[in-house]
Amino acid sequence: MTAQAEPLELVKLTKRYGDTVAVDAIDLRVPAGTYCCLLGPSGCGKSSTLRMIAGHETVSDGDLVLGAHNISDIPPAKRKTSMMFQNYALFPHLSSRDNVAFSLKMRGIDAPTRYERADAALALVQMEGFAKRRPNQLSGGQQQRIALARALVTEPSILLLDEPLSALDPFLRIRMRAELKRLQQDLGITFIHVTHSQEEAMALSDLVVVMNDGRIEQAGTAREVFSRPRTPFVARFIGGHNVVDGRVDRIENGLIHFAVPTGRAAARAPDAALSTGDPVSIAVRADQITLAQGNQAANDNANSLSGKISSIQYQGSFVEVRVDAGQAEPILVTVPDSRFDAAPVAEGEDATLTWPIEDGHLLASASA
């Protein structure tokens, strides 16, 4: 099976349902052959975006451009996109093979050709041995493979997947995740995968698009988004990060020093237009914070917060320690188990948190 990969461009793409703006003029370029995840909480507009790309939902404003063509008003079957649904939507009375061949039948393709293509699609998802079975004779994971084969049989340029792994048990989910990635790489086409799981998006994506309230908060590689979240929302949503809020105290040599309730913090920001007293937030990864026993706020580190340990949770190879340090949420520190064991701390004890200046990333304000 071969399909031509083409770049997809969303230009000021907007979806309104009455007064609700579900997707708010988003711009996004998805290069050909990309594994792209639309990531965000429920209701942020992921599915509406996916359905507009598929043609199952009309575009209220803006454009969808696939390769050289504006596809905004083209019927779904002519778009070179194909959708795999969350509930698989298989026909219960048809065999796997007929389910997979169905859309080709609708397109008027002759029986020998459509069965040949259906068999190739079944082979692609390792289901050639199940061609004669009906959906109720298959496990959930197998039904999903059939749904995947059915979506791929039309040789789309873009495969659209709406929460494809959410119905699977955790073990199968991780296995199918690896298979989706392999398929995408083998086929070389673009996959656009909607998920609310940051772990899934991190594991799969070449391009992670973090959405919130109908807008794109950040789009980038998994590594970029994780190591440099752009906004407080992204930092909180992707997990493993802390958002430290404070106010600008002074700016010296491109270094912003700011006052926080229980200590001080600093971040490099040569381009930031900030003045003394402005509110600022930085993101600091939980694994980049060093926790020391006792209140040592008088040390000379530019980043230092003091507080009380509010919880300790063992997670196997690391320990999650949360410290109340006057921020909106407790500061999370992940401590490798060997380091924790060498200097154990307990709930209720005083602690001091420090981190290198380069590990604090200035965040754009929520409204930016």
Rule CB under 6 A: is residue 22 a binding residue for ligand ADP?
A: yes
Q: How far is the CB of 211 from ligand ADP (least distance, A)?
A: 7
Window contacting ligand ADP (CB under 6 A); options: 15-23, 59-67, 176-184, 223-231: 15-23
Q: Does 141 bind ligand ADP (CB under 6 A)?
A: no
Looking at 38-46, 65-73, 297-305, 357-365, which segment touches ligand ADP (CB under 6 A)? 38-46
Residue 17 binds to ligand ADP (criterion: CB under 6 A): yes
| Tokens at 37, concatenated | 């995840």
**Residue 143 interacts with ligand ADP (CB under 6 A): yes or no:** no
- Residues 100 and 109: their CA atoms lie apart, in Å, by 13
| Residue 45 touches ligand ADP, criterion: CB under 6 A | yes
Task: Single out the residue of 325, 348, 233 nearest to residue 281, CA to CA.
Answer: 233
Regarding 87 and contact with ligand ADP (CB under 6 A), the answer is: no
Distance from C-alpha of 229 to C-alpha of 222, rounded to nearest angstrom: 10
The C-alpha atoms of residue 89 and residue 160 are separated, in whole angstroms, by 14
Examine residue 40 and tell whether it contacts ligand ADP (CB under 6 A).
yes
Q: Which helix (H) or strand (E) holds 266?
A: strand 263-268
Residue of the chain from 47, 143, 157, 281 that contacts ligand ADP (CB under 6 A) = 47
Q: Give yes or no for residue 212 binding ligand ADP (CB under 6 A).
A: no
Q: Is the dihedral of CA 94, 97, 99, 103 positive or negative?
A: negative
Measured from the CB atom, the residue of 47 and 262 that comes closer to ligand ADP is 47
Residues 256, 280 contacting (CB under 8 angstroms): yes
Which tokens sit at 203?
A: 């594991």
CB 125 within 8 A of CB 149: yes
Residue placing its CB nearer to ligand ADP in the complex, 48 or 157:
48
Does residue 20 bind ligand ADP (CB under 6 A)? yes
Q: Which stretch binds ligand ADP (CB under 6 A): 5-13, 16-24, 76-84, 94-102?
A: 16-24
55-61 long-range Cβ contacts below 8 angstroms, 24+ apart: 55/79, 55/81, 56/83, 57/15, 59/13, 59/14, 59/15, 60/14, 60/15, 60/16, 61/12, 61/13, 61/14, 61/16, 61/25
Which span (27-35, 45-53, 345-353, 360-368) binds ligand ADP, by CB under 6 A?
45-53
Size of the site for ligand ADP (CB under 6 A): 11
Q: What is the 3-state secondary structure (H, E, C) of 44-82?
A: CCHHHHHHHHHCCCCCCEEEEEECCEECCCCCHHHCCEE
Name which of 306, 347, 57, 81 is nearest 190 in CA terms.
81
Which residue from 14, 46, 83, 361 is in contact with ligand ADP, where contact means CB under 6 A? Answer: 46
Pick between residue 44 and residue 235 the one whose CB is nearest to ligand ADP.
44
The nearest distance, CB 46 to ligand ADP, in angstroms, is 4
Strand, helix or coil at 260? Answer: strand
Contact 311, 349 (CB under 8 A): no
Q: CB under 6 A: which stretch of 17-25, 29-37, 164-172, 358-366 binds ligand ADP?
A: 17-25
Question: Pairing mode, if any, of strands 290-293 and 304-314?
Answer: unpaired
Tokens 């003045």 sit on residue: 275
Among 44, 66, 189, 267, binds ligand ADP (CB under 6 A): 44
The 3-state DSSP class for residue 252 equals: strand
Should residue 48 be labelled a site residue for ligand ADP when binding is judged by CB under 6 A? yes
Binding to ligand ADP, residues 215-254 (CB under 6 A)? none
Instruction: Pick one of 7, 31, 33, 43: the residue that binds ligand ADP (CB under 6 A).
Output: 43
In the bound state with ligand ADP, the residue whose beta carbon lies nearer, of 42 and 338, is: 42
Least CB distance to ligand ADP at residue 18 (A):
7
The one segment of 36-44, 169-177, 251-259, 324-332 that binds ligand ADP by CB under 6 A: 36-44
Contact stretch for ligand ADP (CB under 6 A) within 39-47, 127-135, 236-244, 346-354: 39-47
Buried b (16+ CB within 10 A) or exposed e, 132-163: ebbbeebeebbbbbbbbbbbbbbbbbbbbbbb
Positions in the binding site for ligand ADP (CB under 6 A): 17, 20, 22, 40, 42-48
